[in-house]
Amino acid sequence: QVQLQESGPGQVKPSETLSLTCVVSGYSINSGYYWGWIRQSPGKGLEWIGWISHRAATFYNSSLKGRVTVSLDTSKNQFSLKLSSVTAADTAVYYCARGAGATTGGYFDSWGRGTLVTVSS
């Protein structure tokens, strides 16, 4: 059974870059699926950030205005998120998840536990 685990700093200063990693176990990330990031601001709903395919094709939420980069490290079976120029509005629980392709509905069938990132000086 696939498992995902997020890791990274719990606090980031305004204007700096948020960096998170998701380690995947139980499935080889270069075998298929899409590997995505979703966030949830305190008390709010879910927001898709972006994903990367097993072949390293990326797709991002354009409302984040080019601040997002998702990358793959197949040697470590993990993928990463970088979000630049953060503000307090980026404070959220960040989840990594495994996703199906858009043609099949783009659903996320496995999620990490999530990690809270607070943007504060």
User: Least CB distance from residue 47 to another protein, whole Å?
Assistant: 7
Give the CA dihedral 117, 97, 59, 54, nearest 10 degrees. 130
Is residue 41 a contact point for another protein (CB under 8 A)?
A: no
Task: Give the rounded distance of the alpha carbon of 19 from its chain centre.
Answer: 10
Does the protein bind another protein through residue 20 (CB under 8 A)?
no
Report d(CA 121, CA 114) in Å as an integer. 22
End-to-end CA distance of the chain: 39
Cβ contact 24:32 at 8 Å: no
- By CB under 8 A, name the one of 7, 30, 61, 77 that touches another protein: 61
x-marked contacts with another protein along 62-81 as a string, rule CB under 8 A: xx------------------
- Residue 95 C-beta: closest distance to another protein, Å: 6
Which residues form the interface with another protein (CB under 8 A)?
36, 38, 45-48, 51, 59, 61-63, 95, 99-100, 102, 104-109, 111-114
